Structure 1
Amino acid sequence: MPLTPLDIHNKEFTRSFRGYDEDEVNEFLDQIIKDYEAALREKKELFEQVNSLDEKLAHFNNIEETLNKSILVAQEAADDLRGNAQKEAQLIIKESEKNANRIVNEALTKSRKVMMEMEELKKQASVYKMRFKMLIEAQMEMLQTDDWEQFAGSEEFDEEELLKEHEQNS
């Protein structure tokens, strides 16, 4: 068990005939007591300081652990967010490609339809042109026949007869 300043103070030595000077020993003991009390106070202060620093260290260790956990959670959240963003981007790209294909297919279908209509119109125009040409040729033939001279001499003409002749020539 360590000595206390009180133990040093209360210590009594046995007296001998040729012993140490009592005042000198007492002064030395007083100095030892003061130094020992100072050492004990310093030890107590250092012990309290160590306890305080241990508490702060524990607190900072808790903060560090919490920050590390927060960093991990943030990294996981960032990874999840990045993964979700990539998935969403891929979905958007696929949807865009699908829409683009649909638009291209619709345009091709409309283009084919317009081309078919254009071909049909060309055919109809060709048929119309041929019929019109035949009509004009028939009319020209009628004009070149001698039947006109017959009408020139007579003042009246039969419309029905003219139509019959026209139908026969056509």
Structure 2
Amino acid sequence: MKITPLEIRQKEFEKGFRGYDKDDVKAFLASLSQEWEREMDIQKELKLKLEAAEKEVEKLRQVESSLYKTLKTAEDTGANVITQANRTAELHLKETQIKADKLLSDAQQRAKDIVEDANHKAQAILEDTEDELKEVADGFKQLENHRDNVIEELRNLSTGLNDKVKKIEDRMQHVDIETHLKRARKAVKKIQNADEYELEEVKRPSIKHEAAKVPKAEKANHSEEPKQQNKNEESGGEDTSFFDEITAD
């Protein structure tokens, strides 16, 4: 039987000859006692549960506090790590930038040195080439001068030979071959009749071939004519042969 507080307040007891009915009062009190005991048990159970809940709450609060502290520590540590990482990254970035700038500067200087060295070598090669070309040009000029001199000498030689051939042709036109043949027979007869005299060595007449000379040699040729005349005078005006007259020039 469930008794509410309202029923307890409104409960009325019948009056008997001597007051309230004792049985009703005892029955009500028994029921009230049972209900109250039950309520006390429930209250005790709830109290135990409340204590357990409070302990659990306390544990949860401790866990929460620990988690909060851990989270705070993690946040602080994370912030420190991030800050340190940022500083390290900035430091590495600066070092990398410095190294990159140095590498770039070294590469530019190296390229500049290579270009300057190449320019110097090219200039040296150009100067050497110009000197060689100048030497070749001078040599070619000397060859041209030598060629011109040779051509001039050949022209002079050709002119001298032509003049000599012309002189020989002119003399041959004025030579009397029969007269010279008679002189030759006469000389042979003299040799045959000279038994009492010692035989003299007679040189066979030969045609002399003069080497071709440049115009300088023509003066020597002109000087031979007086020598030939002197020779004729020394021989006492002997008759000269046909071949002597031809080669006299």
1:18-65 alpha-carbon deviations (Å, 9 max, x no partner)? xxx995876655543332221011111222233333333333223212
| Superposition deviation, residue 113 in structure 1 | 0.3
| Superposition deviation, residue 74 in structure 1 | 0.9
Q: Paired residue for 1:83?
A: 112
Distance 1:167 1:154, change over 3 A: closer
Structure 2 residue 56 is matched with structure 1 residue 33: no
Structure 2 residue 77 is matched with structure 1 residue 58: no
| Bigger helix fraction | 1
1:129-140 matches, cutoff 5 A: 129-140=158-169
Residue 165 of structure 2 aligns with an amino acid whose one-letter code is: I
Distance 2:149 2:97 in 1: 76
Specify which of 103, 106, 112 is matched with residue 132 of structure 2: 103
Distance 1:148 1:118 in 2: 45
1:1-170 matches, cutoff 5 A: 23=51, 29-155=58-184, 161-162=240-241, 165=245, 170=249
Distance 1:142 1:68 in 2: 108
RMSD between aligned residues = 2.9
| Superposition deviation, residue 137 in structure 1 | 1.1
The alignment partner of 1:146 has SS state of: coil
- After TM superposition, the score normalised by the length of structure 2 is 0.51
| Superposition deviation, residue 102 in structure 1 | 1.0
Contiguous gaps of at least 5 residues in structure 2: 1-46, 188-203, 206-230, 232-239
Q: Which of 61-70 and 147-156 deviates more?
A: 147-156
Distance 1:74 1:80 in 2: 10
Residue 49 of structure 1 aligns with an amino acid whose one-letter code is: G
Distance 2:150 2:134 in 1: 24
Distance 1:148 1:120 in 2: 42
Q: Which of 133-142 and 52-61 deviates more?
A: 52-61
Contiguous gaps of at least 5 residues in structure 1: 1-20
Distance 1:146 1:73 in 2: 107
- Which structure: larger Rg? 2
| Superposition deviation, residue 165 in structure 1 | 4.2
How many aligned positions are there? 149
